[in-house]
Amino acid sequence: MLPTWAVATRKMKEKLISWVLALASRLPLSVARKIGAAIGDLCWRLNTREAKVTRINLSRAFPSRSPQQLDELARESMREWGKSIFEIPVVWGGSRQWLDSKLVRQPGAELWDEYRKDKTGLIMLGPHLGNWEVVGLACSARAGEMTNMFAPSGQVALDKRIREARSRFGGILVPTDKKGVMALIKALRAGGVVGILPDQVPPRSGGVYSPFFGITALTMSLIHNLIKRSGAKALLVYAKRVPEGFELVHVEPPAAIYSEDQQVSVDALNQGVEQCVLGAVPQYQWEYKRYKHQPPGEPDIYAKENTQ
């Protein structure tokens, strides 16, 4: 049982989170982006953990670029990271009409229509690129119902807000366990749509090693398993940040994602995500430790001295 002071601190923190989310949700999108960019730039100047990880990831992913080019790209990426943080409450609080007004272009949208013609299940793959909350809301609204996995953060106020936001246009949240996986398979077999963030680092038991921008990355095998067990199709979708709002970009993944061979399928998944990232490099979540699990015997690229 937590001591009284710890309980009080936790409650105060939850109230603060609720207050900040409520305040931020009322900001115009342009203002939220300006604040976020300023915060990201400040974190760059202070050389925070996020800035260090961003530098490491970009230097590995784009080794042919000069130190100056990498610095400029990393700084821009940190600004985009800040924009994402302050955009999300605005997106969560926006109406369906507001969201539709911010989707200024939808390149490749015909792929969605083509994939849905035969009522086969569809796996919507939304990388951590641009604003993935926009992707989830837009796709669930379009499908009418979309099943997504959700892992609570432990912050009651934040988790409540996430659940409310992601479910309001037809999102169905299921746990990140076997029960949740079965719910995804059931939805796909019924011809439904499910949403997955394909570039999250899975537990070692749930992934295989595959190159991502030429670097070994533990990559989820879940998508291969879902395709194999349901016969579903897959489509990559990301919301690219543009001055007027967002471009909802649809990308057909490499055909090899449907391979019976798990390694071939997972490699194709990463190739598809790479293709998306190259469409908006600074807007990718480079501050995330995507390469934290390396094969046994390989060095940790995020060694303490590099990121602390």
CA pair distance 256, 73, nearest whole angstrom: 31
Strands (E), the chain: 103-105, 122-125, 146-149, 171-174, 193-196, 207-212, 215-220, 233-242, 245-251
CA pair distance 189, 186, nearest whole angstrom: 5
Name the percent of the chain in helix, strand, coil, to the closest 5: 55, 15, 30
Q: What is the pTM of this model?
A: 0.92
pLDDT digits (tens, 9 = 90+) for 262-282: 999 999 999 999 999 999 999
pLDDT at 183 over 90: yes
Nearest alpha-carbon partner for 196 in 139, 118, 260: 139
Q: Return the domain boundaries, the chain.
A: 4-295
pLDDT at 138 over 60: yes
One DSSP character per residue, 86-130 reads HHHHHHHH--HHHHHHHEEE-TTHHHHHHHHTT---EEEE--SBB
pLDDT band at 25 (very low <50, low <70, confident <90, very high): confident
pLDDT band at 152 (very low <50, low <70, confident <90, very high): confident
pLDDT digits (tens, 9 = 90+) for 45-98: 999 999 999 999 999 999 999 999 999 999 999 999 999 999 999 999 999 999
